[in-house]
């Protein structure tokens, strides 16, 4: 047989095997994913309640129905979504991302000075000099590449302000905009979102956020972050805040399940130049589900329904096991808080990352993130005594903020896509010898002995560290008003 004939037969076999794998993954998805394939929109909370109400319904009840709480609006949204259509591969946006509409930045024209823009860009949001490939800074304006693929597309022109202090278009409010608070209620009038990181239950194992040693009960990060969130919520409400949990159960917020991403995973792998294999397709579709898809869905809820003044992202850290077949608890435990920033060269090359970085700079969320995070770090360390985690001064994916060893800028999908200022907590090491024992002990009052040291519940230490820092920061920044003075926030 000639070489050309052999090559032709080989190509045909590759195509046939690829088609078989694609068909196999669709059949497997259909068989294994039975939850919420397509949901029709449910009646709104208002429609459901009014249709069942009697003529005796009071005016107060009707007003409550007409104005559901933010938490009810989130539940209403989650229950009424439809699964989106299939997507095409775009190498110039991030996983499951979409090409940005740069015209949305027009509202920020002449809202930032050249000095502030350059300072935030070079000292917070980028690492190194690769940003120069995408952004040109001139005396009165900056030019930003809109489309990495098409050189014919004009660069976006951002005109600088000549004067600082121009009012910024955004939904969240800083302490000055909130105004003085009543004594004992430093969070009065604030909307605070709590985002318990990851997912619980059966999904934790897929996320690889589920582990146990010596036959103990499994530690699942998505479950313990939810426990902390549920403890935080009433305490924040007592301080005057309107508090909404982005996730209030062990289930994903994402309406899709892994099988919905079978086609998207195939398109992504094929677009990257790979011949999709069954294991690669399964790994990527799962990651699209629990990471990219889940975080993007939470961002929609935060930015369109809750619209908070501050978002608290709750996480627990973990250390590498080394040998996964012989898991040994580690001696290390540490703490740090992440702020958005330090976009890598690879991220800057993506159109959607570049767009959201610009939006972060223009809405000035960094100043608020740095201030409130510094206060929480101070109070948290005073309680826990935890040392700081160190990414290293030469890191190309993180940078220390204001010389504070506990504060690091790093770009994660959540603190990038959430429009409000974000406090992204990373305390403890779940698989450390001390923290693992404390997690196994659960919540309790007072103190108990842990490895020879009397310690409070790790859950109460977590919540108190955050509460003390928030009270300290907002009391200082907002000040207090007398009882007869009206609130200034709208």
pLDDT bracket for residue 220 (50, 70, 90): very high
CATH code 3.40.630.40 region(s) in the chain = 175-249+298-481
Query: What average pLDDT does the segment 238-251 reach?
Result: 98
Q: pLDDT tens digit string along 417-430?
A: 999 999 999 999 99
Q: pLDDT tens digit string along 377-389?
A: 999 999 999 999 9
Q: Return the percentage of the chain with pLDDT > 90, whole number.
A: 75
Q: pLDDT tens digit string along 73-120?
A: 887 776 666 555 456 899 999 999 999 999 999 999 999 999 999 999
* Residue 460: per-residue pLDDT: 98
Q: pLDDT tens digit string along 138-163?
A: 999 999 999 998 877 889 999 999 99
Range from 2-11, 25-34, 316-325 that averages highest in pLDDT: 316-325
Q: What 3 state SS string does the chain have?
A: CCHHHHHHHHHHHHHHHHHHHHHHHHHHHHHHCCCCCCCCCCCCHHHHHHHHCCCCCCHHHHHHHHCCCHHHHHHHHHHCCCCCCCCCCCCCCCCCCCCCCHHHHHHHCCCCCHHHHHHHHHHHHECCCHHHHCEEECCCEEEECCCCCCCCCCCEEEECCCCCCCCCCCCCCCHHHHCCEECCCCCCCCEEEEEECCCCCCHHHHHCCEECCCCCCCEEHHHHHHHHHHHHHHHHHHCCCEEEECCCCCCCCCCCCHHHHHHHHHHHHHHCCCCCCHHHHHHHHHHHHHHHHHHHHHHHHHHHHHCCCEEEEECCECCCCCCCCCCCCECCCCEEEEECCCECHHHHCCHHHHHHHHHHHHHCHHHHHHHHHHHHHHHHHHHHCCCECCCCCCCCCCEEECCEEEEEECCCHHHHHCCCCEEEEEECECCEHHHHHHHHHCCCCCEEEECCEEEECHHHHHHHHHHHHHHHHHHHHHCEECCCCCCCCC
* Residue 87: per-residue pLDDT: 66
Of the listed ranges 15-29, 66-80, 221-235, 267-281, the one predicted with least confidence: 15-29
Q: pLDDT tens digit string along 278-297?
A: 999 999 999 999 999 999 99
Decide if pLDDT at 186 tops 90: yes
Query: What average pLDDT does the segment 247-268 reach?
Result: 96
The CATH label, of 3.40.630.40, 3.40.50.300, 3.40.50.970, 2.40.160.20, for the domain at 175-249+298-481 is 3.40.630.40
Mean pLDDT (the chain, rounded)? 87
* pTM metric for this prediction: 0.85
């Amino acid at each position: 047989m000639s070489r050309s004939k052999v090559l032709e037969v080989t190509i045909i076999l590759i195509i046939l095997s690829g088609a078989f794998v694609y068909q196999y993954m669709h059949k497997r998805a259909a068989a294994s994913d039975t939850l919420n394939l397509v949901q029709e929109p449910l009646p709104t909370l208002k429609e459901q309640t009014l249709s069942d109400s009697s003529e005796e319904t009071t005016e107060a009840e009707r007003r409550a129905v007409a104005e559901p709480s933010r938490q009810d609006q989130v539940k209403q949204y989650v229950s009424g979504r439809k699964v989106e259509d299939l997507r095409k591969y775009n190498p110039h946006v991030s996983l499951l991302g979409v090409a940005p509409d740069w015209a949305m930045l027009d509202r920020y024209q002449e809202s930032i000075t050249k000095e502030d823009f350059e300072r935030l860009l070079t000292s917070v949001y980028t690492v190194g000099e690769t940003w120069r490939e995408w952004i040109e800074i001139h005396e009165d304006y900056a030019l930003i590449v809109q489309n990495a693929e098409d050189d014919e597309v004009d660069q976006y022109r951002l005109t600088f302000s000549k004067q600082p202090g121009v009012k910024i278009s955004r939904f969240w409010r800083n302490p000055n905009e909130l105004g003085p608070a009543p004594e004992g209620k430093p969070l009065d009038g604030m909307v605070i979102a709590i985002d318990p990181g990851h997912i619980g239950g059966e999904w934790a194992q897929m996320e690889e956020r589920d582990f146990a040693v010596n036959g103990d009960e499994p530690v699942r990060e998505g479950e313990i972050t939810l426990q902390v969130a549920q403890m935080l919520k009433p305490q924040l409400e007592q301080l005057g805040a309107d508090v909404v949990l982005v996730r209030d159960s062990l289930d994903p917020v994402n309406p899709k399940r892994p099988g919905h991403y079978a086609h998207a995973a195939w398109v992504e792998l094929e677009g990257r130049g790979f011949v999709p294999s069954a294991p690669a397709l399964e790994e990527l579709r799962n990651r699209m589900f629990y990471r990219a898809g889940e975080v993007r869905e939470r961002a929609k809820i935060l930015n369109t329904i809750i619209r908070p003044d501050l978002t608290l992202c709750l996480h627990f850290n973990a250390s590498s096991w080394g040998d996964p077949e012989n898991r040994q608890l580690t001696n290390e435990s540490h703490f740090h808080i992440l702020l958005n920033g330090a976009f890598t060269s690879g991220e800057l090359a993506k159109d959607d990352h570049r767009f959201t970085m610009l939006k972060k700079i223009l809405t000035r969320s960094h100043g608020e993130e740095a201030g409130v995070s510094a206060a929480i770090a101070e109070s948290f360390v005073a309680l826990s005594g935890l040392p700081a985690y160190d990414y290293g001064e030469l890191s190309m994916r993180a940078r220390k903020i204001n010389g504070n060893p506990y504060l690091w800028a790093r770009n994660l999908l959540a603190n990038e896509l959430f429009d409000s200022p974000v406090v992204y907590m990373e305390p403890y090491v779940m698989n450390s010898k001390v923290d693992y024992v404390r997690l196994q002990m659960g919540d309790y009052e007072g103190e108990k002995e842990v490895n020879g040291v009397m310690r409070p519940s790790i859950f109460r230490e977590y919540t108190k560290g955050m509460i003390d820092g928030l009270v300290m920061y907002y009391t200082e920044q907002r000040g207090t008003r007398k009882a007869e003075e009206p609130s200034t926030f709208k």
